[in-house]
A = this chain, B = another copy of it.
Amino acid sequence: MSCVNEFAPQLRARGFRATPQRMVILHVLRHAGGHLTPSQVFEQARIDLPGLTEPTIYRTLEFLATSGFVLAAHVGNGKMVYELAEAQHHHLICRHCGASTEIEHAPLETLYHQLEVTTGYRLDSSHVTLFGLCPACQS
């Protein structure tokens, strides 16, 4: 749990609270390599904090996502998944076998800038998920 101490001051500095629930959820996300569904987070987090309830999981994940601490993404099946927002990246999912590959943000930068100019929007560092067939499933 000491590995998520960095988040407490960051939360407080923005007027939020560093509650045990949030710390445990961040801790779970940090130690899961990759993205987790709300149910998976719930399973893990309730071990460290037995009183934890499901509505709290959903609300906390949404809160952490909109505050930029975690990244929310869709991976094809209509389920939302969450992961720590460490490095800006995107996902490429094989719609046949479900394999998932990370895409660096760099190749998207040019496109982002171009779209900002043509649309007038200021783009967030949003999470993009692309779908396709992985090399193994192209037969």
Number of interface residues of A (CB under 8 A): 33
**Which residues of B sit under 8 angstroms from A107, Cβ to Cβ?**
111, 114-115, 118
B128 pairs with A130, CB closer than 8 A:
yes
Name A138's contact: one of B111, B122, B134 (CB within 8 Å). B122
Distance in Å from the Cβ of A33 to the closest Cβ of chain B?
Answer: 20
- Among residues of B, the one whose C-beta sits closest to the C-beta of A104 is B118
Residue A133 lies at the interface, judged by CB distance under 8 Å to chain B? yes
Residue A120 lies at the interface, judged by CB distance under 8 Å to chain B? yes
Q: Within A111-139, which residues are at the interface with B (CB < 8 Å)?
A: 111, 114-116, 118-124, 126, 128-135, 138
Please measure, in the bound complex, the distance between the C-alpha atom of A28 and the C-alpha atom of B80, giving whole angstroms.
Answer: 27
Name A128's contact: one of B114, B128, B138 (CB within 8 Å). B128
